[in-house]
Structure 1
Amino acid sequence: MWTGKKINSRSGYEAAAKHFAPADLDVNLSGRSFMVTGANSGIGKATAQEIAKRGGTVHMICRNKGRAETAKDEIVAQSKNENVHVHIVDMSSARQVWEFAQNFSQNHKLHVLINNAGCMVNQRELTEEGLEKNFATNTLGTYILTTALIPAMKKVEDPRVITVSSGGMLIQKLNVDDLQSEKGTFDGTMTYAQNKRQQVILTERWASQHKEIHFSSMHPGWADTPALQSSMPSFHAKMQSKLRTEAMGADTVVWLAVSAAAIKQPSGLFFQGPSSSPDINHKEDLLAKLIKTDCLKSNS
């Protein structure tokens, strides 16, 4: 726990920030298109704000239209950038995600995809498609959106995919035999951590299969976001004074998305704290399991 506080807290960020290179983020993103899922609050909104400030075109993927439009208006007002667009998509719906990605690819260019949307549902719930909600949102939604957009991204210069994972994945070994969390007592926190482990593995697999695109996953540290407050209220209350701001949590996401320095790193790495380190303690092939998912078959 002490090590976690040292690396993931506000003080950990402030210590690491002393070694940042500000010039890495001094970029003009005019002409480049970015998609941010879960962009109406928290780290997603902070990321969208930073990209818009630098002139990038931002596509906000959100579930709630009212909150999305409010967030868009705030981003436009602060950035003075009108190239901010809202798309209403429920990332837990495989069919919605697939259809959106297909339509988007036909009408827009995309340089950078930021998989930020996620959830931690503490009681086992099923989506309308019969999938456990955490898995459907965090893993399957991310998988479908990314794989559906890869062909379009291969047509642009310097394409990147960044997936916001979590340091929580370090406490989980991949379990491909229970993707729907049907066995044993359901634990939302552990299910979430398992999903985040799956995202890291997917990132490595994508990186090995699609050399034209730079992939990375990352842990944003402990940031004071609405999602953290609602899903882990006790932890939030205990650690509130030590939590990073949303902008601090988004800092590495933005660096990975916009800086020239980021793509000098090998594709497929997991970034945690002030340094990057690939997590290689997994050999299982999650992609094979996902491809066999009935839901994916019905949407391919």
Structure 2
Amino acid sequence: MVNKRELTEDGLEKNFATNTLGVYVLTTALIPVLEKEHDPRVITVSSGGMLVQKLNTDDLQSERTAFDGTMVYAQNKRQQVVLTERWARAHPAIHFSCMHPGWVDTPGVRSSMPGFHARLGARLRSEAQGADTVLWLALAPTAAVQPSGRFFQDRKPVPTHLPLARTWSSPAEEEKLIEILEELAQRFK
């Protein structure tokens, strides 16, 4: 997570380029290969932080609003969840899932969210605990029988929206995200 607005050498906002566009470019490039494989799975490591965000396609690169790295990260993670759900519907031969590792004591959390890290301290998960669900999704036969496109935490599917949070997006908003990503991705294909 980048806490101040930075651009990549391609002129893209760094969080968006890494967490959304990069995931989109890599995954869409792999889909034709994965569709030919036995038991193909795509797991995106998202974050429960996305629960506070509604999909916003009007300012994907944080150009028009005050930059808040935590909220930009959460928005990117919401975008990943939307992409996962759409890929699951479009490509039923591939098992897609995304997951929240829990709040993990990592160097990234320590440096990007020092106040949060200090407050939670010993209650943060170890790196091994954070990796448990992603490994289960990648390797366990029981994970492959879960419905594709779901969001997981602690090896269980969990809701992608909080009650009354108004974070649902319309099919038109989701399609707009795909159109923008596809246009931006053209320069990397």
In 1, Cα distance between equivalents of 2:182 and 2:115: 37
- Runs of at least 4 residues of structure 1 off by over 3 A? none
- Indicate yes or no: 2:178 matched with 1:297: no
SS of the residue 1:184 aligns to? coil
Match of 1:181 among 38, 62, 73: 62
SS of the residue 2:83 aligns to? helix
Q: CA deviation at 1:275?
A: 2.9
Contact 1:268 1:278 in 2 (8 A): no
2:178 aligned partner: 287
Pairing of 1:1-300 with structure 2 (within 5 A): 120-273=1-154, 275-279=156-160, 281-283=168-170, 284-285=173-174, 286-293=177-184, 296-300=185-189
In 1, Cα distance between equivalents of 2:11 and 2:70: 20
SS of the residue 2:141 aligns to? coil
SS of the residue 1:175 aligns to? coil
TM-score normalised by the chain length of structure 2: 0.91
Which structure has more RCO (C-alpha within 8 Å, separation ≥ 6)? Answer: 2
In 2, Cα distance between equivalents of 1:179 and 1:220: 24
SS of the residue 1:292 aligns to? helix
**Percent pairwise identity:** 65
Structure 1 unaligned regions, length at least 5: 1-119
Aligned residues: 179
In 2, Cα distance between equivalents of 1:204 and 1:288: 16
Q: CA deviation at 1:272?
A: 2.8
Structure 2 unaligned regions, length at least 5: 162-167
- Supply the RMSD in Å over aligned alpha carbons: 1.3
In 2, Cα distance between equivalents of 1:148 and 1:275: 28
SS of the residue 1:181 aligns to? coil
Give the number of the structure whose alpha-carbon radius of gyration is greater: 1
